[in-house]
Chain A
């Protein structure tokens, strides 16, 4: 069966949804089809490791729009289907259900999947990842009866899950291979603060800890065995060890790919009429000194979606906003502006013991990123300072008596 569609959006996440929304807002009247491999209409992913995991947010409230919205906007949702081949020359894409779309433009917004544990025993039942609503439903249901939970990976996902589950009275052990949590994304002051906070809340954190394998019983995980020989009892394991971008289908179609699908500043891939956005799109980022990278965040996916819509609507506008992120753990609101790639210095504003402070990242004296903990003012001002690529006197910068926003030009 072949179906013609002016716009084929592959991926029904936040980025894909925004392409459709922005096109309709801009008066686009052509046909739009959105194919998603999950059974769900577009929903908000960040709460999965936060208030949705905690059971404080319902599935209805996770949805970006009511189901009828997509119908009203004439967006044809094809859910539970995966695009498996693309023929860029003939402008055709085929799903795993055998349906072929003949498209005018294709937007590859397929995101990625949670990196699976690739160690012996990593495929036992009882081992979970946090990426989709269905995965988190499964996790929540099994967590009800679990007592000993081991979280592998001390990134945002692992720490957020730990913060939720420790509050449910579970025994939580969190293991990180690097010598500190958040090692790849934040400075040492932030890592030390979050390690201390999680320990204070009762989470047992092990850093510099390698995991060699997992043992099982009747196919179900039983323990986690560490490189030093220690064995930790586990009736549930969560792996939060990063995202693998979905790029294989694009690569097979001939698109230039690196750590993701390579795109230019208007999210165009190397293939005619094919764009890529969101977690899987690898782009040259001016906030990372021109390094090619992927940015895994909602603001990035939405901003890139709007850029693609602008091209299709005939008024191209690249997405150039400062990247930003957030992470909620306990009563701590961490907000990050900018990308700290290649920072050569950090500056602390305020005292972490007060639970309200920020860490500025500098490269050659220039402010390139800010991590703000319960310090919204510094986050908001920091975003502007990063955008303005400002160099400020360091002594003044560390002086909390001087509001960060006073440095904004």
Chain B
């Protein structure tokens, strides 16, 4: 189990427990969070699970793949710390990870 901190745009922070090897998206959905639309179900085919990773954790979450980068590039809300929640897998090293929900495009 690892802890995931989720911030919504209104500043509310919730702390979720997730299994390692599940994605940030899955952890959020399992916890009943419906802020991310995740229309493609998490198969990296859309950009509707856009989150910002806390700068402190940016290097720890690893690199953005080409597909993910192309999806994020089209967002009007893209920042240097943008990620798709379906593509970030929880690991022991990510225990305590903080992400913030990006606005919908």
> Which residue of B32, B40, B46, B74 contacts A384 across the interface (Cβ within 8 Å)?
B74
A46 to B71 Cα, complex, angstroms: 20
Residue in A69, A72, A326, A381 whose CB lies within 8 Å of B45: A326
Number of A-B contacts (CB under 8 A): 52
Contact assessment for B40 and A326 in the assembled complex, using a CB-CB cutoff below 8 Å:
yes
- Which residues of the other chain, A, contact B71 by a CB distance below 8 angstroms? 376, 380
Q: Interface size on B (CB < 8 Å)?
A: 18
CB atoms of B29 and A377 under 8 A apart: no
Whether A61 pairs with B26 at a CB distance below 8 angstroms is yes
Q: How far is the CB of B9 from chain A (nearest CB, A)?
A: 13
Inter-chain contact A44/B37, CB cutoff 8 Å: no
Shortest Cβ distance from A50 into B: residue: B43
- B-contact 0/1 string along A31-56, CB 8 Å cutoff: 00000000000001011001100000
* A381 vs B73: C-alpha distance when bound (angstroms): 10
Contacts known (A333-B45, A380-B71, A380-B74); A72 close to B32, Cβ less than 8 A: yes
For chain A, the bracket of interface size reads 20 to 34
Select B70's contact among A50, A64, A328, A376, beta carbons within 8 Å.
Answer: A376
> Residue A66 at the B interface, CB < 8 A?
yes
A380–B73 touching, CB < 8 Å: yes
| CB of A366 to closest CB in B, whole Å | 20
Interface string of B24-46 (1 = CB under 8 A from A): 00100110101001011101011
* Pairwise interchain contact B67-A333, C-beta atoms closer than 8 A: yes
Contact in complex: B32, A66 (CB < 8 Å): yes
Check if A380 sits within 8 Å of B70, measured CB to CB.
yes
Sample 9 A-B pairs with CB under 8 A, ordered by A number.
A44-B41, A64-B29, A65-B34, A302-B39, A324-B46, A326-B40, A326-B43, A376-B71, A380-B73
Listed in ascending order, the chain A residues whose CB lies under 8 Å from chain B are 21, 25, 44, 46-47, 50-51, 61, 64-66, 69, 72-73, 298-299, 302, 324, 326, 328, 333, 335, 376-377, 380-381, 383-384, 405
Given pairs A65-B29, A326-B45, 20 additional interface contacts (CB within 8 A): A21-B34, A44-B41, A47-B41, A47-B43, A61-B26, A64-B29, A65-B34, A299-B39, A326-B40, A326-B43, A326-B46, A328-B43, A328-B45, A333-B45, A333-B67, A376-B70, A377-B70, A377-B73, A380-B73, A383-B74
